[in-house]
């Protein structure tokens, strides 16, 4: 007799003497298989399970009751809509929704009213950024509920976004850069870290992974971590020339490892640990008001002041939209840009042209 060997299929004999067969995929609920192996019914069930029709198990799913907020959150966290979000967004929303479940999980989502959500958001007004993220998370959950026909109306509809004004991470000025360079000379890891971010526009998640494997013929090629976090989103790969100053700093910094920045044990830094280290180095240099991300803004500012086009800046920073670049370059020196902007010729009354140059 020919035996059929299928991956992930487990079988056992129950207490009634009947053979039970299941598909067990990692991280998914086991799926029962109907019929005998090799029959059309069996193979159809097996193919459906492998195709992903068996829902991924979420913590607490076995304890949820239909119609409750618990059940709605579990459905959302296992949905395609949720999994298409960037990984950082998924992590943030999952944490918020787990706390939301802990407080309201046994309640019926059909009874959730706009006034209830407004009250929850209002309770967070003292922390406007937290209120804004909470509001966006609930809106995503309710939009999913309407799309999947759990609800007929979105209770977050019409609730205004919480206004949270901030300039974000402060851009490094030339004074900041000079102070840091004066305290951390070429050859130190602190100076190399700053140069890598200042002359590439890398985020922390990218700079901790950069190494000699990314360098070829004077160019640096790497794939951005943030824009490639979701498997449903095409990652952004950048190829930029290595600035002469960065090349000088790299050459002068002792390093026998593939990765440029390593710990005292020769291992690459984690993002969190490296961020703390940059905080320490900035404080040592007398720059407590700036952080590593401000260096990414600094290269955009420098390029804007050098009258580089928005497209040129995007080619270095990897930003996807013009609005993102404008937000990064708004700290460009108004005086320098005004001087450059006034550097043109204008016609005179007699037909000749008068040159208006940069101020001396």
Q: Which fold has domain 174-340?
A: hpI Integrase; Chain A (1.10.443)
Tens digits of residue pLDDT in 154-170: 998 888 776 655 556 78
Helix and strand element counts for the chain (H, E): 15, 8
Q: Does the pLDDT of residue 284 top 50, yes or no?
A: yes
Q: Cα separation of 287 and 172, whole Å?
A: 9
Tens digits of residue pLDDT in 246-256: 999 999 999 88
pTM reported for the whole predicted model: 0.61
Tens digits of residue pLDDT in 207-248: 999 999 999 999 999 988 875 444 555 678 899 999 999 999
Residue 28: predicted pLDDT: 66
3-class SS string, 198-240: HCCCCCHHHHCCCEHHHEECCEEEEECCHHHCCCCCCCCEEEE
Tens digits of residue pLDDT in 11-28: 888 777 888 888 877 666
Residues 6+ apart with CB under 8 A from 249: 186, 191, 192, 195
H or E element at residue 21:
strand 19-23
Q: Does the pLDDT of residue 48 top 60, yes or no?
A: yes
User: How do beta strands 31-32 and 9-13 pair?
Assistant: unpaired
Tens digits of residue pLDDT in 167-205: 567 899 999 999 999 999 999 999 999 999 999 999 998
On average, the pLDDT of the chain sits at: 83
Residue 325: predicted pLDDT: 82
Q: Does the pLDDT of residue 142 top 80, yes or no?
A: yes
Q: Does the pLDDT of residue 293 top 80, yes or no?
A: yes
């Amino acid at each position: 007799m020919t035996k059929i060997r299928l991956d992930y299929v487990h079988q056992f004999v129950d207490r009634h003497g009947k053979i039970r067969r299941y598909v067990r995929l990692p991280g998914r609920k086991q799926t029962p298989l109907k019929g005998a192996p090799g029959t059309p019914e069996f193979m159809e069930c097996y193919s459906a399970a492998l195709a992903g029709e068996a829902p991924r198990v979420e913590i607490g799913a076995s304890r949820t009751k239909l119609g409750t907020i618990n059940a709605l959150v579990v459905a959302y966290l296992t949905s395609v809509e949720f999994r298409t979000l960037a990984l950082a967004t998924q992590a943030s929303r999952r944490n918020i929704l787990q706390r939301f479940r802990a407080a309201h999980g046994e309640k019926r989502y059909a009874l959730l009213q706009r006034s209830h959500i407004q009250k929850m958001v209002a309770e967070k007004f003292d922390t406007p950024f937290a209120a804004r993220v909470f509001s966006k998370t609930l809106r995503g959950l309710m939009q999913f509920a309407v799309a999947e026909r759990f609800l007929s109306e979105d209770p977050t509809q019409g609730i205004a976004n919480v206004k949270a004004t901030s300039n974000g991470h402060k851009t490094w000025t030339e004074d900041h850069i000079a102070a840091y360079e004066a305290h951390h000379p070429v050859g130190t890891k602190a100076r190399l870290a700053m140069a890598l971010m200042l002359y590439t526009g890398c985020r922390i998640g990218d700079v901790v992974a950069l190494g000699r494997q990314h360098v070829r013929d004077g160019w640096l090629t790497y794939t951005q971590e943030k824009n490639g976090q979701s498997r449903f989103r095409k990652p952004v790969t950048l190829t930029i020339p290595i600035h002469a100053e960065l090349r000088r700093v790299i050459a002068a910094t002792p390093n026998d490892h593939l990765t440029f920045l390593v710990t005292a044990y020769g291992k690459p830094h984690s993002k969190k640990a490296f961020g703390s280290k940059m905080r320490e180095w900035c404080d040592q240099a007398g720059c407590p008001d700036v952080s590593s991300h401000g260096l990414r803004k600094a290269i955009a500012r420098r390029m804007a002041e050098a009258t580089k086009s928005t497209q040129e800046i995007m080619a270095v920073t990897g930003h996807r939209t013009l609005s993102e670049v404008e937000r990064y370059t708004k700290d460009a020196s108004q005086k320098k840009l005004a001087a450059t902007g006034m550097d043109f010729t204008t016609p005179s009354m007699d037909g000749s042209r008068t040159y208006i140059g940069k101020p001396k």
